[in-house]
């Protein structure tokens, strides 16, 4: 997932209320009985879902062809790929470094499409775009490493194979963001990462206007760090995700990053926070077949097995946005 560049400053409930005083807020009562302000606008609240809802197990930092095959073999139904523009084009690369670079985006997309056509349950690819504006699409010499080229590859290879695409941006706005936002098709959505109210405001100011195309995520490489109990007024990871899901202003809400021996956090994210999916895998290295990656997926699957009336692992016919 994205490096945690944000400073996670504590914000009191009073400050949050003052900041958002012009918006009609829904009051939710936590388990202690105290009221808290959440971000949901009353007219945006959807009717309660009936029956179990789809759940996404999203493999973290998939940077190689073998990682694609390993993740789908373990049971992942979505893949998070770090996409970095290099002078030669787009690469699966987390740190813009020779030490972290994987395969080309082109061969990654081809492999995913082949796996999907071969029966694997690859529902969407989440592109965590590290430097979206590095290459100007209007410059013919740089178009091959621009956001336009990345989208063209996705539309030419992934989408014909019925694999959807989530464009994850490090910030709202900018030429690349606007280009993607203004031409989203039925297979595509945009992700922004951060605290629930901040992400809502970013989407409100920068689009897209369709809430189904707005995907919120929040988390930390070291998930237990400031995870919270899920019912604080604001700030803590689980609380922010719970408020995001309850607000109904986002099409999907995803938490990250679940690693091995963190079953209690999986249970909290899926139970108390009610997230639609979890990024799982290693904290700081690319995905591959290992007892740790298999164990992290198993914690998601075990929760699903115990709660069949609430969630089921999404299948190829599910539409995330």
Residue 299 CA to residue 214 CA, distance in Å, equals 27
Q: What is the pTM of this model?
A: 0.87
Provide the H-helix boundaries in 154-274. 175-181, 196-206, 237-247, 263-268
| Long-range Cβ contacts of 110-119 (<8 Å, 24+ apart) | 110/157, 111/65, 111/68, 111/69, 112/68, 112/79, 112/158, 112/161, 112/163, 113/157, 113/158, 113/160, 113/161, 113/163, 114/161, 115/68, 115/69, 115/72, 116/161, 116/162, 116/163, 116/316, 117/161
Active-site residue, from 60, 74, 94, 290: 60
Is 144 one of the annotated active-site residues of the chain? no
Compute the 3-state secondary structure of the chain and give helix, strand, coil in percent, each to the nearest 5.
35, 20, 45
So what's the pLDDT on residue 39? 58
Q: Which two tokens stand for residue 107?
A: 């061969």
Confidence of residue 7 (pLDDT cuts 50, 70, 90): very low
Tens of pLDDT, residue by residue over 117-171, are: 999 999 999 999 999 999 999 999 999 999 999 999 999 999 999 999 999 999 9
Taking 50 as the threshold, does the pLDDT of residue 72 lie above it? yes
Token pair 């809400």: residue: 253
So what's the pLDDT on residue 97? 86
Average pLDDT, the chain: 89
Q: What are phi and psi of 149, to 5 degrees?
A: -65, -40
The answer to whether 35 touches 13, Cβ cutoff 8 Å, is no
Radius of gyration of the chain (CA): 19
Domains of the chain (ranges; CATH) run: 52-313 (3.20.20.190)
Q: Please give the DSSP secondary-structure letter assigned to residue 124.
A: E
Tens of pLDDT, residue by residue over 198-256, are: 999 999 999 999 999 999 999 999 999 999 999 999 999 999 999 999 999 999 999 99
Taking 90 as the threshold, does the pLDDT of residue 64 lie above it? yes
Q: What are phi and psi of 85, to 5 degrees?
A: -80, 125
Residues of the chain with pLDDT > 70: what percent? 85
């Amino acid at each position: 997932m994205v490096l945690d560049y944000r400073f996670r400053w504590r914000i009191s409930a009073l400050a949050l209320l003052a900041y958002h005083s012009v918006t009609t807020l829904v009051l939710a009562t936590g388990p202690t009985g105290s009221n808290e302000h959440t971000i949901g606008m009353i007219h945006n609240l959807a009717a309660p879902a009936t029956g179990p809802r789809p759940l996404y197990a999203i493999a973290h930092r998939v940077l190689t062809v073998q990682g694609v095959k390993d993740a789908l073999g373990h049971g992942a139904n979505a893949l998070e790929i770090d996409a970095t523009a290099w002078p030669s084009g787009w690469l699966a690369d987390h740190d813009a470094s020779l030490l972290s670079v994987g395969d080309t985006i082109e061969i990654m997309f081809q492999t995913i499409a082949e796996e999907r056509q071969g029966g694997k349950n690859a529902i969407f690819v989440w592109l965590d775009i590290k430097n979206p504006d590095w290459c100007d699409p209007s410059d013919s010499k740089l178009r091959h490493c621009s956001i336009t080229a990345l989208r063209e590859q996705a539309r030419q290879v992934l989408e014909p194979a019925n694999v959807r695409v989530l464009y994850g941006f490090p910030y709202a706005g900018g030429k690349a963001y606007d280009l993607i936002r203004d031409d989203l098709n039925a297979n595509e959505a945009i992700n922004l990462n951060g605290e629930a109210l901040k992400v809502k405001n970013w989407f409100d100011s920068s689009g897209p206007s369709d809430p189904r195309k707005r995907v919120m995520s929040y988390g930390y490489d070291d998930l237990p760090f400031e995870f919270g109990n899920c019912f604080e007024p604001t700030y803590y990871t689980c609380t922010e995700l719970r408020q995001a899901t309850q607000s109904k202003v986002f099409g999907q809400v995803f938490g990250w990053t679940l690693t091995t021996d963190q079953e209690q956090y999986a249970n909290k994210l899926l139970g108390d926070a009610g997230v639609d999916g979890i990024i799982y895998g290693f904290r700081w290295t690319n995905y591959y077949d290992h007892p740790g990656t298999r164990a992290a997926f198993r914690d998601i699957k075990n929760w699903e097995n115990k709660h069949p009336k609430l969630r089921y692992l999404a299948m190829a016919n599910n539409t995330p946005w």
